[in-house]
Amino acid sequence: MARKRFDDSQCSVARALNEVGDWWSLLIVLQAMYGTRRFVDFQQELGIAKNILCDRLARLVDNDVLRKVEVGEHGSRFEYRLSEKGRELFPVVIALRQWGDKWNPAPDQQPLDLRDRKTERAIRPVEVQDADGKALTVREVFVPISRTKAG
């Protein structure tokens, strides 16, 4: 595949994609948010090859998106849990999920119904908002000119 490396890119989206932008990583993070923690469970739920899963988990751990935790007294049983950094991908994943539900709905599947544990009310669509919480489209924003180079 000869993938280009973006580690040093000036664009933080490119750098973010370097960590979770490959095919499987974001799906692994998603599964982790659904509660999956064990190697075999990721493998079965995602239908991913073991060597690829191995590689992705290791990279996600390297990048501090997941933490690898020994469970069972003598080691050799592990869990992969989301770190704070990994958990903060929540808006990304949910925004992507909502976008997919809206624009590529599966006929036999209703859109994600995610609810607040306390109130049991559904979440809103993820939006880019101004300081007052009003939704903004891409056309309603701008990047102010700054002295240093922008990404």
Partner DNA sequence: CTAATTTGGTTTCTTTAAGCAACCTTATTG
Partner DNA sequence: CAATAAGGTTGCTTAAAGAAACCAAATTAG
Site residues (CB under 7 A) for DNA?
Answer: 1-4, 22-24, 38-40, 47-52, 54-55, 57, 68, 72-79
Nearer to a second copy, 76 or 146 (CB): 146
Token pair belonging to 77 = 């049983």
Contact of 53 with 41, CB cutoff 8 Å: no
Token pair belonging to 118 = 């306390």
Tracing tokens 């923690």 back to the chain, one arrives at 37
CB of 92 to a second copy, least distance (A): 4
Residue 66's CB is within 10 A of a number of other CB atoms, namely 25
CB of 48 to DNA, least distance (A): 6
Neighbouring-strand partners of residue 81 = 67
Contacted entry of a second copy, DNA, none for residue 118, CB cut-off 5 to 8 Å set by kind: a second copy
Angle between helical axes of 90-103 and 25-33 (0-180°, round to 10): 100
Tracing tokens 């690829």 back to the chain, one arrives at 52
Contacted entry of DNA, a second copy, none for residue 127, CB cut-off 5 to 8 Å set by kind: a second copy
Nearer to DNA, 2 or 131 (CB): 2
CB of 68 to a second copy, least distance (A): 18
